[in-house]
Amino acid sequence: MMDYARTLTRVETYFDRTALHAWERLTSDAPVSRIRETVRRGRDEMRALMLARLPEDLSGARVLDAGCGTGQMSWALAARGADVVAADISPALIEIARQRMPAKHLSRVTFRAGDMLDAGLGRFDHVIAMDSLLYYDRADTAAAVAKLGARCSGRVIFTVAPRTPLLMAMWQAGQLFPRADRSPTMVPQSAAALAQALRDTHASGALSVLDRVSSGFYISQAMEYAS
């Protein structure tokens, strides 16, 4: 079994150092390879899918963008009137998000470098965690969702890597790489098993399976937890 803290450290190292420039380019409008273009399109589709679960008018709502990356989701939430806490374990990504945020939305966004599960971030009306729980095992993912849900009066909308034959094959292949490869490995999740893991945490909310996005090398499953 993985350990949340160790995985978090690997994720920070990867996004803050190894993949920073690639991620900065991917989440911009700069030209990218055809493979990365499929990932960009998939992420755009997933972001729209998740935002569609929230009201168009979020005025007065406090929303956590958990694992905000370069801030695309935070931008969209602020444009709907939300007061956004944009949290990410990577200080470098937080700085990019801050620089990219349109000036007219800056007053609505609070940037925080650190653990998205930090209770010090406070309580929220909604939480969105897009592709920020992909690297944790079932127990850690369930615990993270339960912790976020305990501080959320509305919806926790998040994504996981779905347990498909293709992703399972990729996961198995990833186990062959040496530890020196610092890229974190996505851990495929079964919806039924994740629901059971949530029950094991004694969380009282309900887990719903939303749509899946498959775009070339981007495959992600949206889910929703509501207490």
Q: Count of domains in the chain?
A: 1
In degrees, rounded to 5, the angle at the alpha carbon of residue 128 between the alpha carbons of residues 208 and 160 is 55
| CB-CB contact of 41 with 205 (8 Å) | no
Each of the 227 residues of the chain gets a pLDDT tens digit; together they read: 458 999 999 899 989 888 899 999 999 999 999 999 999 999 999 999 999 999 999 999 999 999 999 999 999 999 999 999 999 999 999 999 999 999 999 999 999 999 999 999 999 999 999 999 999 999 999 999 999 999 999 999 999 999 765 554 554 544 444 444 446 788 999 999 999 999 999 999 999 999 999 998 899 999 999 98
| CB-CB contact of 101 with 79 (8 Å) | no
Tokens of 111: 């940037």
| CB-CB contact of 149 with 119 (8 Å) | no
Angle between the N-to-C axes of helices 34-51 and 72-79, in degrees from 0 to 180, rounded to the nearest 10:
30
CATH number at 119 reads 3.40.50.150
Q: What is the pLDDT of residue 185?
A: 83
| CB-CB contact of 114 with 140 (8 Å) | no
Q: What is the pLDDT of residue 186?
A: 86
Range of the domain at 139: 4-226
Residues 6+ apart with CB under 8 A from 155: 53, 54, 126, 127, 224, 225, 226
| CB-CB contact of 110 with 78 (8 Å) | no
| Per-position DSSP letters for 148-198, written without gaps between them | HHHTBSSEEEEEEEE--HHHHHHHHHHTTS-TT--PPPP-EE-HHHHHHHH
Q: What is the pLDDT of residue 18?
A: 86
Nearest to 124 by CA among 226, 4, 206, 48: 226
